[in-house]
Amino acid sequence: MSDVDIQTASVLALGPLQISETVVASAAVCMLLGLAAWLLTRRLAEEPGTRQTALEGLIATMEHAIAGVAPQHARELLPFIGTLWIFVLAANLVGLIPGLHSPTRDISATAALACIVFLSVHWFGIRSQGLRRYLHHYLQPNPIMLPFHLISELTRTVALAVRLFGNMMSLEMASLLILLVAGFLVPVPILMLHAIEALVQAYIFGMLALLYVAGGLGTQPVDPPVEMKE
């Protein structure tokens, strides 16, 4: 967290293509998570040790959270929603490394995540309901509602991207301002605040994605709870 500029620096140029710090950080997070997954799962046993027990507990916790929203599709949605939770959390925590910024403080990264959720809602819905039945729900309860359903799809996708971006940007700016004012006498509370907020924002993003996907599976648009809109 070295500055508060919104624009991310370009670290590589391939002709007209500019590779930004956000792209590099996101790719690094993906590779590290892939390596961690391989290391943690390459020696699974019928009688799990401490590492495997913790891993299975994490997966069971995520599956339980998904089952609370879409009980009939928990196993189906676990890979997608679980990956979102883990990736967003890891990306949020990158800001704790001196000199680096969280990829999720860049609107382009959060917009990409929101677009993935948007496409996944329709993919899961069409696969579950069939194309004709899925599209028919946009005409319910009356065909005149079609424009409003389409606007709702777009606005909630934009809100999903802006929410994560705004929260992570404001968190890094607030942390930097506190450090500038109070010096480095209070680094531990600031780091704890960042870690807790990173966890909360990852959970909320994943839950909102889960609600939207569950709505597609149930052929009914799902609005997030009031506390997640705030």
Is-contact 106 95, C-beta < 8 A? no
Cα–Cα distance, 80 to 84 (Å, whole number): 6
Note the pLDDT tens digit of each residue in 30-86: 999 999 999 888 888 877 888 888 999 999 999 999 999 988 899 999 999 999 999
Instruction: Decide if pLDDT at 178 tops 80.
Output: no
Cα–Cα distance, 80 to 94 (Å, whole number): 21
Omega within 30 of 0 (cis) for the link into 225: no
pTM of the predicted protein model:
0.84
Note the pLDDT tens digit of each residue in 119-164: 999 999 998 888 888 888 888 888 888 889 899 899 999 999 999 9
